[in-house]
Amino acid sequence: HPANSIPDPVPIAIVGGTGLSSLPSPPFTPLALLPPPQTPWGLPSSPIAILSYTPPSSTSTPDPKATTIAFLARHGLHHQYAPHEIPNRANVAALKRLGVTCVVGFSAVGSLKEEVKPRDFVVVDQVLDWTKGVSPPTFSIPPPPPPPSLNQPPKTNPFPFQVRPWTFFESGTVGHIPMAHPFDPPLRALLLHTLTTTPGLLLGPPTTTTHPSGTVICIEGPQFSTRAESLLFRSLGLSCINMSAFPEAKLFREAEIAFALVCMSTDYDSWREGEGEEGEGVSVEMVMGHMGANGENAKRVVARLVEELSRGGNEEVVRAERWRGTARAAAGIT
């Protein structure tokens, strides 16, 4: 494909989590694989794939602006970044540079409610930050690492003693962004419309349910929760638990990018009596068992979502820029 077939800017991006590290062709045609761009916050987790979506039975020419999307693998192409090592600021900055205004993220989660079964999807509307972000000592930006090979991106952590840098506002730049509604309401509405008006979109067995709201708690990890922690989180009425919602959700807000998160349930965490091998609770094997099916369903959701966006009438979603000229400028993201 000639480079000029890539619209500039690319307004829509998908951030894939565990179980969703690429989008298949067909129906997604790769147009380019942009090497991870250097940002003031280091390299993003993966190259950014630019893909165009072609509906299976397209009769009219789709709007390339609405059918071309960017895709970033949150944990890297080889799942080499543990949740606490994800270069979130570089990921958000790299997407911002592409002109992205609207991001849908997918994440594997544990369930904290009986009714949220493995393979169910939760379109969360709230999030609780249980990570352990600590303030770094004064640091200088390290020199850029050598150019990455696409096959084996270098595993670099520019801030080895720092846990999850969680803001673009620092070193004299002060900014406080509202977080009451961490996920963009119009984008969530569009996602829910997509998920609920397409019968059989999420494939079984077992049958899969879409939960239209819920709160996800993000723990530091990489260990799963103790039973006491899991029971505490459950007693708060939370729906699900993961290790990556923060600081991603905060940084998208600071960068004025509309963000929504689809949580894909893989396990009942550690609260449920008798769950897992010898009642050990959640294990990597349990998570992996449902991940493949979740990933397939996520791809179907992305396809339907892009169809929905290409139909137009969703300008508000695609153009959402809530805090124009404040957070973005202060954070130096242009």
State the residues that interact with ligand ADE by CB under 6 A. Answer: 108-110, 219, 224, 241-243, 266-267, 269, 282, 287
**What is the CA 272 to chain-centroid distance, rounded?**
27
Q: Tell the smallest beta-carbon distance from residue 287 to ligand ADE (Å).
A: 5
Rounded Cα distance, 166 and 185, in Å? 22
Q: Nearest 5 degrees, angle CA 276-CA 222-CA 37?
A: 130
Q: Tell the smallest beta-carbon distance from residue 17 to ligand ADE (Å).
A: 9
Q: Tell the smallest beta-carbon distance from residue 260 to ligand ADE (Å).
A: 18
| b/e burial code for range 187-207 (CB count within 10 A of at least 16 → b) | bbbbbbebbeeeeebbeeeee
Which of 36, 110 has the CB closer to ligand ADE?
A: 110
Please give the structure tokens belonging to residue 241: 């638990």
Q: Tell the smallest beta-carbon distance from residue 320 to ligand ADE (Å).
A: 28
Rounded Cα distance, 208 and 117, in Å? 8
Q: For ligand ADE, which residue has the nearest CB? A: 110
- CB-CB contact of 269 with 225 (8 Å): yes
Which of 195, 286 has the CB closer to ligand ADE?
A: 286
Which of 282, 318 has the CB closer to ligand ADE?
A: 282
Q: Tell the smallest beta-carbon distance from residue 192 to ligand ADE (Å).
A: 22
Which of 42, 83 has the CB closer to ligand ADE?
A: 83
Please give the structure tokens belonging to residue 246: 């923060």
Which of 51, 109 has the CB closer to ligand ADE?
A: 109
Which of 168, 268 has the CB closer to ligand ADE?
A: 268
Q: Tell the smallest beta-carbon distance from residue 282 to ligand ADE (Å).
A: 4
User: Using H for helix, E for strand and C for coil, what is the string for 140-169?
Assistant: CCCCCCCCCCCCCCCCCCCCCCCCCCCCCC
User: Using H for helix, E for strand and C for coil, what is the string for 97-149?
Assistant: HCCCCEEEEEEEEEECCCCCCCCCEEECCEEEEECCCCCCCCCCCCCCCCCCC
Which of 190, 286 has the CB closer to ligand ADE?
A: 286
DSSP 3: G
Q: Tell the smallest beta-carbon distance from residue 18 to ligand ADE (Å).
A: 7
